[in-house]
């Protein structure tokens, strides 16, 4: 059976994944409004992926015979200073999520919850990929700098996701 402590932490992470989805949707809307449609597409797909992450927590909690507790979501920003600022914020957010996942896994270990540990391993691997993907975009944006041509090429590439 899930301990109350681990259940609370899993429900908090369910909320954090929904916030990730909300944040990337806000970023997508911003990019669309700024006519970076490829970036908007990439972020919209990312928002959907975060919703899937949230549902993994939802299903796991229910499969353990426990109660899902949905909570309020914070209001995300609706403007960023530049495309680079958008993806730097994405990378910072993913690093924050990685820390949360690692703490959750530490808790599952401390609570001797073996199914919880196996479940969370998927997220440990996923976070390596998520950080690498965001880092690559940040690196390439820094390469192109303020060059409109470079930004448009990058925008097209991100639109192919
Ligand atoms: Fe659900 Fe991007 O981590």
pLDDT digits (tens, 9 = 90+) for 111-161: 999 999 999 999 999 999 999 999 999 999 999 998 999 999 999 999 998
CA distances from 49 to 1, 64, 147 (A): 28, 23, 30
User: Left if phi > 0, otherwise alpha if psi is -120 to 50, otherwise beta: which for 77?
Assistant: beta
Ligand 1: atom nearest CA of 50 is 1
Confidence of residue 11 (pLDDT cuts 50, 70, 90): very high
Q: Determine the pLDDT at residue 126.
A: 98
Expressed in angstroms and rounded, the spacing between residue 149 Cα and the centre of ligand 1 is: 30
Expressed in angstroms and rounded, the spacing between residue 98 Cα and the centre of ligand 1 is: 8
Rounded CA separation 37/22 (Å): 18
Expressed in angstroms and rounded, the spacing between residue 3 Cα and the centre of ligand 1 is: 24
**The two three-digit tokens of residue 27, written as one number:** 């970023």
Once rounded to an integer, what is the mean pLDDT over residues 52-58? 98
């Amino acid at each position: 059976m899930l301990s109350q402590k681990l259940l609370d932490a899993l429900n908090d992470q369910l909320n954090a994944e929904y916030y990730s989805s909300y944040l990337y949707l806000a970023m997508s809307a911003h990019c669309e409004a700024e006519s970076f449609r490829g970036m908007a597409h990439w972020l919209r797909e990312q928002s959907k992926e975060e919703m899937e992450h949230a549902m993994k927590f939802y299903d796991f909690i229910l499969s353990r015979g426990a109660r899902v507790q949905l909570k309020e979501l914070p209001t995300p920003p609706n403007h960023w200073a530049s495309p680079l600022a958008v993806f730097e914020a994405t990378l910072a957010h993913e690093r924050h999520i990685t820390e949360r996942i690692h703490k959750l896994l530490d808790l599952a270990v401390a609570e001797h919850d073996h199914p919880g540990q196996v479940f969370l391993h998927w997220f440990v691997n996923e976070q390596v990929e998520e950080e690498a993907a965001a880092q690559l975009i940040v690196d390439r944006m820094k390469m192109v700098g303020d060059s409109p041509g470079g930004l448009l090429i990058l925008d097209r590439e991100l639109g192919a996701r």
